[in-house]
Amino acid sequence: MVELKNGETYSGVLASCDGFMNLHMRDIVCTSRDGERFWKIPECYVRGNSIKYLRLPDEVIDMVKDEPTSRKEIRQQFKARGRGRGKGEGRGRGGRGQAPGPGEKRGGGGADKAGKKARG
């Protein structure tokens, strides 16, 4: 049984649920917020952010795989995934070029990046 924030209730068979708590249900009896009207609906989708509370039988909760509880388990679960998009080079909006690196100063003089002496 699901009660929404607007007061309506949906009682039926839970077909699926995702990480955002969006529900897909079948064979539903929908009750109006005042409790005077009822509708039988073959299937429906309930967006997770509209849910006030959700009641599930204990045996359904026991069927669900246990989630990792410690940070270490969570880190191990995501260990093989990528680590971002690299160093960020070449992803700017344009601008005036790269900032000088270590040992380089603004302006002329000195050697360029290829190791040649600058003309001056």
- Give the model's pLDDT for residue 31: 97
Q: What 8-state DSSP symbol labels residue 4?
A: E
Q: What domains can you pick out in the chain, each with its CATH number?
A: 2-66 (2.30.30.100)
79, two tokens: 């260990």
- Give the model's pLDDT for residue 33: 93
Q: What 8-state DSSP symbol labels residue 100?
A: P
CB atoms within 10 A of CB 60: 9
Phi/psi of residue 5, each to 5°? -65, -25
pLDDT above 60 (res 59): yes
80, two tokens: 């093989």
Q: Which of 6-20, 47-61, 67-81 has the lowest mean pLDDT?
A: 67-81
**3-class SS of residue 116:** coil
Q: CA 39, 45, 48, 54 torsion: positive or negative?
A: positive
